[in-house]
Amino acid sequence: MLTQSRIPKLYDTTFDGALLWFSQMECSNLLFHPEDDPANIIRISSDERLFSDGEVIELNFLLNELEQEIGHEKLIEAAYPVFMNACGIQLDA
């Protein structure tokens, strides 16, 4: 039986592609910091892992692809405004 992935598609491995992907992760309530191991993310409300083993493999692959193309610092920069938005913090334009 095949199950559909909850992980959004990464359309391209550019800064803008990473920004869009993190935004889609936030909209899906799956946002996590890219320096954290997705295998260790626990949903506080249920004390269960947020991602399945298959999703962890998929996430690690996508993050590695992004890091190879745009670098570690740019990957974090792409996640930053999405995290600030998720926290309700408006960034200056």
Q: What is the mean pLDDT of residues 35-50?
A: 95
- Look over the chain and give the mean of its residue pLDDT values, rounded to a whole number: 94
Which position has the higher pLDDT, 48 or 5? 48
Q: Name the nearest CA neighbour of 52 among 64, 39, 61.
A: 39
What's phi and psi for 48, nearest 5 deg? Answer: -115, 155
pLDDT-based confidence at residue 25 (cuts at 50, 70, 90): very high
CB atoms within 10 A of CB 34: 20
**Which tokens hold the place of 34?**
């890219």
The H or E element spanning position 48 is strand 48-49
What's phi and psi for 34, nearest 5 deg? Answer: -65, -15
